[in-house]
Chain A
Amino acid sequence: MGSLTLQTSSDFSFRASAPKDIDLELFEITYVQCGDVELERKIDEKIDQFIDKVEKHPNKKNQICLSFYEVKNKQATWFSNKVERLHWEQWYINLNVTQNPKGHSGKSHLPKVEVNPGDTAAEARRARRTALECSLRDILFQIIRFVNEKRDHVPPIPNLDGVSFPYEITISRFCFWDGHVQENAPNWASYNAQLISKAFELVRFL
């Protein structure tokens, strides 16, 4: 699928790479990667950075921002020769990693699941895991939906030797809520950082 190219005078196709199916270890979910080794390495580095930050500052709200931009060469002035980046798409993922209330040193904050008092611990974990799997699948569906609803803003493919548009991943304690930068965003729907990072990869694939 990733090998569709259109040969014209100007090469506006990405470097062909076969998409790769990745099965999650914890859930029965299969997502797709670009298949580019370099891209995967960079994403894994960012994931590790996020995990380290979370370990140093637990119970803190964090935000991962994936932004796609195009480089605009600004006319050079006397004092600056900056290269302007025009972000045409940004994905904000707010993550709040908390410890498991059972005492497990997990980094996942499971969504609230109604657990009957009679359930055993294993059943409770299974229920939480099932709920998290459903939530993650819903998130992935939502990403696909978002990507398909808005396509006109995608700029032309730059003449670069790569498989995707230029992108940038930033990790900050600040988050954007309602379009404004807020330091302490409300604690809504926080997910496992690593799983959301996999969503990053899906977005990049799309």
Chain B
Amino acid sequence: MDSLSFWNRTLMEPMIIDIILVQESPNPSSELTSPAASGTEASTETVIERWMVQYEGQRLMAPQIGEATYKKMYRKSIILLRSVHAMLRLLPAYKAFRKLCSLKQNCDFVINYKVCSFSSPFSRAEEESMKKYSFVPIDIQPGRLSVSVIYREDLSDFNLDVLVSCPPQIITDYVERGNQILPPHFSDLTAGQVVCIRMFLHHRANPLGSPPLHRSPYEYSPSPTETYIHRNQNQRFPTHQKTTSDDLLSPPFSSSPSPSPPTYLSGGNTVQSRLRSETAPVSIPHPMMGRSPRFLSPNLSDPSRHSLPPLSPRNTRYDPSSHESSSGIRSMRRLDSLRAGESSSGPINVSPKVARDAKEDSGRFSSLLSSGSSPRVGFSRSSSRLSFQDDFGDCDFSCPFIVDDVDPPDSQASLNPDGTKSSEVSSQASSTAKKSQDAAVGILVHMLKTAPPLRQDSGYYTSQSSKIEFEGEVGAASEFFKPRKTSDALEELKVYKEMKDLLLSKSAARLVGKEKRWT
């Protein structure tokens, strides 16, 4: 309103009100811009509406105006003012003004106005794109008041709708929507952590299937993790693999020698127990990797070797190369069949022998552990046992020291008539059997030593000798952990036999001496 004050002083001059559209981006079409536009680099001003109000006064003094005239002037002024008021709201600039008011901070244009008594005329091109309407002047003695408007009929050239087409919206249920994708307890995790967890679950369910996951939108289902595991159990190698999933593989799944979650690497037993219960996967160090390549799987050159656990050193020792390759292929086939349609619980048909072996033959698994990540082992344990059982079933193993079948401690205890001592020995034997295959040799030797005596009256001496032998056994047990050959064992057996004979002879001599004394 302050800008209108100057016009009141000069009543005879027209009052021109320009409605200017100011856009931030420069308008390349300079023809349509007003010559009065500043044309700054950052903004473009365009007159979109121009109102001209002019009072054309008469030079001659008008006669005195009667009341009727005033009434008429009043009625006409009311009609004019209301018409202008209604017209303003029908013009395109008002629509832009309303958009500007509704989206204040998200519009790239501003509407300004300018009041002046003179203005530069529009160019011919501008006039062609504009419409003019002149209100019928009203007689206001001593002159008359005229109002006219020139406006742009179409503002689509300025793309005002595009600028306000994407108003900001507050997603009120953003957190809830995100929680719907993941299980509730995953709501606090980041996207990367979620992917890692998913990869973990996949590997846990299908450790042999190490290729990267196929990230499809269906993976982000709100179903619990169990169903996710079961769903992935039936997946073969996905044909479509995205590289992004490789990048999102969590460190625990890498074959690095460094231990990953330190809480899990508390010891070999702990690892083995975890394997048995198929808990969290760990990256286990590979102490046997540096020993000898012969202990590794013979299928190193096989591209699918990464899906198979390496064979145990025992098996590699006695398997011919040709047989190893064939066994590897057969095991791979079996593993594929197992992976295809079986659940995470393991193979369907597990013989008691295999089950028993799986329960006790942890020595093999330690080697398996050392050569790969645990998730593979955890799943492949029984399956590999099954495959190995079949592979070696046809072979003729005459050497008794190949531990394919390790009798349970109960069977060992049943052979020993000595109650307490045998139970102690059996427990010790069972503990040593778990550690290494060499301990099994010691057990066998011990079995021979604890065999029932040849004579019953030598029970005391046998107990004494067994005690001595037990003591000696403890010291010798350490020796049994060394790798031994069959010949060594036979020699040792001979030594023990000689010792036994010697002891028996001595005891017999004592008895004879006693009898002579009594007599």
Contact = CB atoms under 8 A, between A and B. Distances in A.
Contact of B82 (A1, A30, A156): A1
Interface in A3-56: 4, 6, 8-10, 12-14, 19, 21, 28-32
Contacts of B89: 21, 30-32
Interface stretch (B70-78, B301-309, B352-360, B422-430): B70-78
A205 B74 contact: no
Interface stretch (B90-98, B290-298, B460-468, B470-478): B90-98
B403 interface: no
Interface residues of B, number: 25
B82 A32 contact: yes
Interface of B: 67, 70-71, 74-83, 85-87, 89-90, 94-95, 98, 133, 135-136, 138
A148 B86 CA distance: 12
Contacts of A13: 74
Contacts of B79: 147-148, 151, 154, 206
A193 B425 CA distance: 105
A148 B80 contact: yes
B82 A19 contact: yes
B466 to A, nearest CB: 96
B77 to A, nearest CB: 7
B76 A151 contact: yes
A140 B133 CA distance: 14
16 contacts: A1-B82, A1-B85, A8-B67, A8-B71, A13-B74, A31-B89, A32-B85, A137-B90, A140-B90, A147-B79, A147-B83, A148-B80, A156-B75, A157-B71, A202-B86, A205-B82
A21 B97 CA distance: 14
A6 B76 CA distance: 12
A149 B136 contact: yes
Most buried by A among B67, B74, B79, B86: B86
A31 B135 CA distance: 18
Contact of A141 (B74, B85, B90): B90
Contacts of B94: 30
Contacts of A144: 83, 86-87, 90
A160 to B, nearest CB: 15
A156 B71 contact: yes
Given A9-B67, A32-B89, A148 B75 contact: no
Nearest to B87: A144
Nearest to A155: B75
